[in-house]
Amino acid sequence: MITITEPVAARTWIPVCRLDDLEPGWGEAALIIDDHGAPAQVALFRLDDDNVYATSNTDPHTGAEVMARGIVGSRGDAPTVASPLHKEIYDLRTGAGLTDPELALRSYPVRLTDGTVELGLD
């Protein structure tokens, strides 16, 4: 099941990969054209329950494109990723910084269509 956290009516959905291309418990990076027409790196995370989350691949603390290599975990019921560089922790559902509230990842809505993972752009 894919978690959709926002209304879908005004979104453009872009296919990124097949669900089977993502290994549970790990992140993968993908290059997309964002909602401003610019190339952007996203980090996709498939959890053991087959929920998929997408965030920016850019570490907010350093600007390095490394979040797909972060450590997937949880805090309470929140799925999380820890930066592989400085270990700041982010909520995968919202991108909110849990160890430093001044830092945040951009998060993207995700849906699954016929086995294809799609990202929602505004």
Superfamily of 12-121 according to CATH: Rieske [2Fe-2S] iron-sulphur domain (2.102.10.10)
Type of residue found at 74: S
Q: Does position 8 have pLDDT exceeding 90, yes or no?
A: no
Average pLDDT over residues 49-74: 97
Q: Rounded distance, CA 104 to CA 113, Å?
A: 28
Q: Does position 2 have pLDDT exceeding 50, yes or no?
A: no
Q: Rounded distance, CA 113 to CA 15, Å?
A: 9
19-41 pLDDT, tens per residue?
999 999 999 999 998 878 899 99
Name the pLDDT band for 122 (thresholds 50, 70, 90): confident
Q: Rounded distance, CA 59 to CA 18, Å?
A: 25
69-121 pLDDT, tens per residue?
999 999 999 999 999 999 999 999 999 999 999 999 999 999 999 999 999 99
Between residues 92 and 9, the one the model is more confident about? 92
> What's the whole-model pTM score?
0.88
